Structure 1
Amino acid sequence: MTQMSLPTGGVALPLLDTDVLRTFVTIAESGSFTRAARQVFRTPSALSMQIKRLEETLGQPLFVREARQVRLTPEGEVLLGYGRRLLKLNEEAVTQFLAPSLEGRVGIGTTDDVGTRILPGVLARFARSHPAVQVDVVVGSSAGMLARLDAGELDLVLVTSGNPGQAVRGEIVHSEPLVWAGREGGIAAQRSPLPVALAHHGCAWRGMALDALDRAGVSYRIAYTCEHCAGQEAAMLADLAVSPFPLALIRPPLRRIDKNLLPPLGDYQLELVKRGGAGQASEALVGYVTEAFGDMHG
């Protein structure tokens, strides 16, 4: 740890060492000093000394040592978040100056749900590290994105997995619950037949919702059909219908409908599909996308 004087002339604060932070994060993620030592090519005792000094510097215990594993204390959990961000920022800074300069164009397609939610942050980071790469984004249906990939118009696509007739062609990078949603205080969920807002034919959400309603014997009518989930949101906001919706996308005044009122829908997955021979810039962007989804799950 090095010391840094405060501009105000107050007490000097320690600077967190990148090497020590990497050790801390590795131990936290592996759950073992021994496994972490193998990953960073050091001895467990050397790692133990690093963590002891870090705990003394911060004045907080970071790990609870148990018989076969270690786990983070509440303070350790807080430091893990900071540590991951600091290491990522350090990597970006070094990459900016030392990594081979990538150029060219990458075309990425996505559906308008989780893909749109996560892409802005991913693209901002990618642009800082690879400013010479032009990234073009297209939003549309899963089938449309895959067709454009096959035609060579796109280099990688984020699509909903499990659509009718759509084989798994890439890597599953995200999974989350699909739930019934409606307007807070609305009455659409109590109506019979149940008014439902659904995406277009061939959408996995549509199939999951209709299968669940049919199995449960719930009487329903398709009150609203739309191409994008923004249309489903509009129908729910107007209390015209309920809709199958990703749990993480529900925002007030929308709410998740009581689990006992309507049949469960299960999880849905997002799949990252790459075009063969797309090039280095495309592969670099793939890394940023998969890392971002990994952070969500972490």
Structure 2
Amino acid sequence: MFNQKLIIGRNMLKRTAKLPLLDIDVLRTFVAIADTGNFTQAAKNLAKTPAAVSLQIKKLERILESRLLRRSARYTELTAEGEVLLQYSRKLLHLNNEAVGQFLSPALTGTLTLGVPDNVGTHILPPVLAQLAQTHPALHVDVLISTSRDLAAKLDIGQLDLALITTGFDASDASGEIIHHEQLVWAERAGGLAHTRSPLPLALANQGCAWRGSAINALEASQINYRIAYTSENCAGIEAALTADLAISPMPASSVKPPLSQLSDQTCLPELPQFAIRLLVGDSANPAVDLLADYIRGHFS
């Protein structure tokens, strides 16, 4: 009986030894695609070429003998097998980062306070906070969602460690480090008619928003009649008005996704300027603040 168990154990070890090992870097690429829903954006976040990302996924699917992703013209979604692998991938990446962090990363603890506008936070917070939780699980972040103007004021009086604000790209009086800039465009429900109405109905954030100021200045310079039909500090509120075809709104080009679409030049609407996302760091800088600032910069690199 003992010899039989020993033989079975040896056979199991042999079969296990023949299983391929998964590459952590490939799993990181797979998770990035799952999080962004886009090969191009995942490649940008990982500082890889789209071709390299595609090659890694093909290799991963070949090793596991399973189709993991289903690609369309606009979006990439996980297959059932991909959903299963995503759970394992997150666990493996977490364990890898935790193990490496024990040797290479300082033991950072405590709580940081980060302020972000709603129109920025919804896009960058999930990947940045997930990365921080993986590498430094004892470091916590309290997030305040507010207007750029309010966040800058709170950072000045020491109520925030870091803040992200949106400004005009050429704003000479704005402080902070520009970590991202992008073109603003007019957005509307795909196939909608809101842009044909007069006065032009707008859905905007409240006073102090750089996007609001850019839109109003552009319309007034072009002598186009408009009315502010909806105001909301929440992106979901503005997008709801657009989805219902009740208004148009200025948005970053990368944020315009179905059921919304970018209005073409044929609508005769004035071109909007670029905007900037600026990183502000308070006077109480420390290794934990510097780390979070680096992770935020890395998200846009």
Scaled by the length of structure 2, the TM-score of the pair is 0.67
SS at match of 1:135: strand
Instruction: Please state if 1:144 is matched with 2:150.
Output: yes
Q: CA RMSD in A?
A: 3.5
Instruction: Please state if 1:161 is matched with 2:174.
Output: no
Instruction: Please state if 1:114 is matched with 2:152.
Output: no
Equivalent residues of 1:110, 1:116 under 8 A apart: no
Equivalent residues of 2:195, 2:248 under 8 A apart: yes
- Give the whole-Å Cα distance in 2 for the aligned partners of 1:220 and 1:185: 20
Q: CA, structure 1 residues 201+76, in 2 after alignment: closer, same or farther (shift >3 Å)?
A: closer
Q: 1:245 aligns with which of 224, 247, 251?
A: 251
Unaligned runs of 5+ in 2: 1-13, 26-47, 59-92
Unaligned runs of 5+ in 1: 1-6, 19-71, 83-87
Instruction: Please state if 1:271 is matched with 2:278.
Output: yes
Q: Where does residue 96 of structure 1 map in the other structure?
A: 101
Q: CA, structure 1 residues 136+9, in 2 after alignment: closer, same or farther (shift >3 Å)?
A: closer
Equivalent residues of 1:127, 1:133 under 8 A apart: yes
Identity %: 43
- Give the whole-Å Cα distance in 1 for the aligned partners of 2:226 and 2:50: 47
Give, as a single letter, the amino acid of the residue that structure 1 aligns with 2:197: R
Aligned pairs for 1:277-292 (under 5 A) are 277-292=284-299
- Give the whole-Å Cα distance in 1 for the aligned partners of 2:111 and 2:253: 34
Equivalent residues of 1:175, 1:268 under 8 A apart: yes
Scaled by the length of structure 1, the TM-score of the pair is 0.68
SS at match of 1:235: helix
Deviation per CA, 1:100-135: give whole Å up to 9, x if none.
201111000001113321111110110111111121
- Give the whole-Å Cα distance in 2 for the aligned partners of 1:11 and 1:202: 61
Q: CA, structure 1 residues 190+78, in 2 after alignment: closer, same or farther (shift >3 Å)?
A: same
Deviation per CA, 1:25-53: give whole Å up to 9, x if none.
xxxxxxxxxxxxxxxxxxxxxxxxxxxxx
- Give the whole-Å Cα distance in 2 for the aligned partners of 1:279 and 1:217: 50
**Number of aligned residues:** 235
Moved more, 91-100 or 197-206: 91-100
Higher helix fraction (1 or 2)? 2
SS at match of 2:118: coil
Give, as a single letter, the amino acid of the residue that structure 2 aligns with 1:106: L
Deviation per CA, 1:262-298: give whole Å up to 9, x if none.
111021110010001232211111111111111xxxx
